[in-house]
C-alpha cells in the first residue's frame, strides 16, 4: 500500500531538521548527494583512504534508519476517488470506469505493474552501515519501477496481466459520477484494493466475505499463467541482495562513479544513467540496450548504432543480431521553480502513447513513478512505504509485496519540473514509429520550445563529446518565459531535493 508520510520532522543524525535549518544559513554549503545541501565538512584522509564510515557515521545511520523505518512503515488508510465519466489513462491504455468490466480492466492494468518500495533489514551496503534505503532511496526505487516496466514490455506477452491479482480483494478506491448525489454519500462502484490495509500482510478474505464484484474475474489467460516463471525471474533481478543486477546494492555501487554513495539523494537524471550502466553491465537481459538523451535531444543515429551491433563491426557480421530492443530515457525540466502549466497537455499526450513506460520524478521532496492520469491529476506508484526484505532466492517467494493495489493521484500542478521520461521500442520499425508518435505528442505543447526533440545524426555531429547516451551530465532546462535569469543559479536538475 502506498505511504502517506506523517508530518513529523525528519531527523538527521539524531538532530531535528528544523533545528539544523537556521545553522545551515550561516555555514558554507556543499552538495549532499545529488539533491540536497549540507554544511561543508573537513574530510578525514584516513577514513577516505579506507573507504569506511567512522563511529559517528555509524551512529547517524542507525538513528536515521530507526526513524525512517517508523516514518515510512505505516500509512494513513485512504481511498482515492475516480471520475466514472472521464477516461483513466495508464501507459497508453484508456479505461472508462462506467461499468464493472472496465473497472476490472483498470484494476488488472494497475495491479500488474511492478511496485518497488523502501525495504529494511537487507544485507549491509558496501562501504556503509546502511541496511535500509528508507529516507534516501526513493528515486532509485522509482527508477527501478521504470526499468521494470520496460522489462515487462520486453519479456512478457503483449497486454500481460498478473493472474494472481485476483487475490487482492479489499476496496481501496471509489468511482463516482461528479456532482451527483452519489458523490456526497451514495454507494460507489466497488473495485479493488489490498489485503494489506494495516500494512501487515493478511490472508485473503473467505470467498463468502468478498464483495461480489471482486469475485468477478476476467477469464484467466493461459498465456499469462505460462509467463509467471518469467515474472518471478524478473522480480529477482530487483531483489535487495548484492548479486541482483538491478537491486539497490548494484545501483548504489554503480552510482559511486557519479560521486554518489549510500545515504545520498539521487536525481532523475543521475538515476537514468545508473540504469543505463546497470543494463550494460549485466548479462541477464538479452537483446536490449538503454539510451539516455542529452540536452533534451534524442540523436537518432546514436540510437541506431547502439541497437544495431553490425554497424560497429568491421567488417559487418551478417550473423549478428539485427536490432536490439531499446529503452530511451529522456531527462528534462518542465519549468524553473515549478511546473510550467503549458507542458501539462504535452505530458498527457506522452502518457497516452503505448511506447511510453512512465515518468520518474515526483512532487517536491517526494519521488514518485507516474504511469497515467485522469483529468487534471496524475496516477502514480509511491515507493515511500518501508517493507521487510524479501528473500527472492527462495523458490516461489511471494510476489504480493511487489504489486500495489492502491492507486493514488495528485494534481499536475504539484509535479516537480525535474523528471525523466521513459520509452520502449522492440525493433527498428517500432523505433521509427516511436519517433513519429512522440514528435506529434511533443508538438501539442503551447510553449515555443518542445520538451525535447528528435534529431537526425549523432551527438558528435553537433559538437558533443562521444555518445550522448554515455554522457552523465545534468538535464537541460526548459524554462517558462521570464524565468531565465532567476534559474541561472540552478544549472543542475539534481539540485532539487526528493526525500
Written in H, E and C, the secondary structure of 111-155 is HCCCCCCCEECCCCCCCCCCCECCCCCHHHHHHHHHHHHHHHHHH
Q: Is 19 a residue whose pLDDT tops 60? A: no
For all residues of the chain together, what is the average pLDDT? 76
**Residue 138: active-site member:** yes
pLDDT in tens, 33-66: 333 333 334 444 444 444 555 666 656 655 655 5
Q: Is 358 a residue whose pLDDT tops 50? A: yes
Q: What are phi and psi of 245, to 5 degrees?
A: -65, -25
Other CB atoms within a 10 A radius of the CB of residue 19 amount to 11
- The three cell numbers of residue 350 are 506522452
- The three cell numbers of residue 339 are 511546473
Q: Which residue has the higher pLDDT, 321 or 496?
A: 321
Share of the chain above pLDDT 90, in %: 53
**Residue 403: active-site member:** no
Please give the model's pTM, rounded to 2 decimal places: 0.76
**Active-site residue, selected from the candidate residues 133, 134, 138, 494:** 138
Residue 447's pLDDT is 76
Average pLDDT over residues 124-142: 94
Q: Is 162 a residue whose pLDDT tops 80? A: yes
Q: What are phi and psi of 496, to 5 degrees?
A: -80, 130
Q: Give the pairing type, strands 36-39 and 29-32.
A: antiparallel
Share of the chain above pLDDT 70, in %: 65
pLDDT in tens, 382-420: 999 999 999 999 998 999 999 998 899 999 999 999 999
Question: Closest Cα to residue 358, out of 282, 278, 300, 271?
Answer: 271
**Helix %, strand %, coil % of the chain (to 5):** 35, 20, 50
pLDDT band at 114 (very low <50, low <70, confident <90, very high): very high
Return the C-alpha torsion angle 262, 267, 270, 271, nearest 10: 70
Q: Is 72 a residue whose pLDDT tops 50? A: yes
pLDDT band at 280 (very low <50, low <70, confident <90, very high): very high
Of 356-370, 422-436, 455-469, minimum mean pLDDT range: 455-469
Give DSSP secondary structure letters for 166-215: GG--S--EEEE-TTSHHHHHSPPPP----S-TTSS--PPPPGGGS-GGGG
pLDDT band at 186 (very low <50, low <70, confident <90, very high): very low
Report the length, in residues, of the chain: 499
Residue 429's pLDDT is 95
Q: Is 284 a residue whose pLDDT tops 90? A: yes
Cβ-defined contacts of 436-439 (< 8 Å, 24+)? 437/353, 437/355, 438/350, 438/353, 438/355
**Active-site residue, selected from the candidate residues 249, 273, 366, 384:** 384
Residue 218's pLDDT is 52
pLDDT band at 461 (very low <50, low <70, confident <90, very high): confident
**Active-site residue, selected from the candidate residues 224, 302, 382, 416:** 382
Of 78-92, 146-160, 190-204, 432-446, minimum mean pLDDT range: 190-204
DSSP label at 220?
A: P
Residue 268's pLDDT is 95
Q: Is 168 a residue whose pLDDT tops 70? A: no
**Residue 382: active-site member:** yes
Q: Is 28 a residue whose pLDDT tops 90? A: no
Amino acid at each position: 500500500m502506498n505511504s502517506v508520510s506523517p508530518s513529523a520532522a525528519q531527523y538527521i543524525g539524531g538532530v531535528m531538521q528544523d533545528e539544523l535549518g537556521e545553522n545551515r544559513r550561516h555555514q558554507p554549503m556543499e552538495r549532499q548527494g545529488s539533491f540536497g545541501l549540507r554544511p561543508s565538512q573537513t574530510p578525514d584522509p584516513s577514513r577516505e583512504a579506507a573507504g569506511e564510515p567512522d563511529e559517528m557515521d555509524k551512529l547517524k545511520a542507525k538513528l536515521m534508519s530507526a526513524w525512517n523505518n517508523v516514518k515510512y512503515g505505516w500509512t494513513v488508510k485512504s481511498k482515492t476517488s475516480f471520475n466514472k465519466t472521464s477516461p483513466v489513462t495508464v501507459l497508453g491504455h484508456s479505461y472508462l470506469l462506467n461499468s464493472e468490466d472496465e473497472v476490472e480492466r483498470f484494476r488488472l492494468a494497475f495491479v500488474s505493474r511492478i511496485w518497488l518500495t523502501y525495504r529494511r533489514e537487507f544485507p549491509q551496503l558496501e562501504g556503509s552501515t546502511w541496511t535500509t534505503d528508507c529516507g534516501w532511496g526513493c528515486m532509485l526505487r522509482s527508477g527501478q519501477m521504470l526499468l521494470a516496466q520496460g522489462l515487462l514490455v520486453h519479456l512478457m506477452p503483449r497486454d500481460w496481466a498478473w493472474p494472481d491479482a485476483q487475490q487482492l480483494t479489499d476496496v481501496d478506491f471509489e468511482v463516482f459520477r461528479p456532482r451527483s448525489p452519489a458523490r456526497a454519500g451514495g454507494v460507489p462502484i466497488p473495485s479493488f484494493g489490498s489485503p494489506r490495509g494495516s500494512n501487515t500482510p493478511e490472508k485473503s478474505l473467505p470467498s463468502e466475505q468478498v464483495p461480489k464484484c471482486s469475485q468477478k474475474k476476467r477469464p484467466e489467460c493461459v498465456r499469462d499463467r505460462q509467463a509467471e516463471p518469467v515474472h518471478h525471474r524478473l522480480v529477482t533481478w530487483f531483489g535487495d541482495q548484492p548479486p541482483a543486477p538491478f537491486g539497490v546494492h548494484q545501483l548504489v555501487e554503480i552510482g559511486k562513479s557519479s560521486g554518489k554513495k549510500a545515504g545520498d539523494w539521487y536525481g532523475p537524471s543521475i538515476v537514468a544513467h545508473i540504469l543505463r550502466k546497470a543494463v550494460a553491465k549485466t548479462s541477464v537481459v538479452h537483446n536490449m540496450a538503454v539510451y539516455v538523451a542529452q540536452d533534451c535531444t534524442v540523436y537518432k543515429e546514436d540510437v541506431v548504432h547502439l541497437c544495431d551491433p553490425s554497424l560497429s563491426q568491421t567488417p559487418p557480421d551478417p550473423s549478428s543480431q539485427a536490432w536490439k530492443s531499446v529503452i530511451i530515457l529522456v531527462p528534462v525540466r518542465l519549468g524553473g521553480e515549478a511546473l510550467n502549466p503549458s507542458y501539462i497537455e504535452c505530458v498527457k499526450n506522452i502518457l497516452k502513447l503505448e511506447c511510453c513506460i512512465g515518468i520518474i520524478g515526483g512532487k517536491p521532496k517526494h519521488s514518485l513513478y507516474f504511469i497515467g492520469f485522469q483529468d487534471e491529476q496524475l496516477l502514480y506508484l509511491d515507493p515511500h512505504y518501508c517493507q521487510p526484505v524479501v528473500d527472492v532466492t527462495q523458490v516461489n517467494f511471494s510476489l504480493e509485496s511487489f504489486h500495489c493495489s492502491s492507486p493514488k493521484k495528485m494534481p499536475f500542478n504539484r509535479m516537480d519540473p525535474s523528471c525523466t521520461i521513459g520509452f520502449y521500442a522492440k525493433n527498428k520499425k517500432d523505433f521509427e514509429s516511436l519517433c513519429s508518435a512522440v514528435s506529434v505528442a511533443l508538438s501539442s505543447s503551447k510553449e515555443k520550445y518542445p520538451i525535447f526533440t528528435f534529431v537526425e545524426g549523432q551527438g558528435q555531429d553537433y559538437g558533443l563529446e562521444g555518445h550522448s547516451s554515455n554522457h552523465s551530465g545534468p538535464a537541460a532546462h526548459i524554462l517558462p518565459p521570464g524565468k531565465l535569469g532567476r534559474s541561472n543559479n540552478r544549472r543542475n536538475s539534481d539540485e532539487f531535493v526528493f526525500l
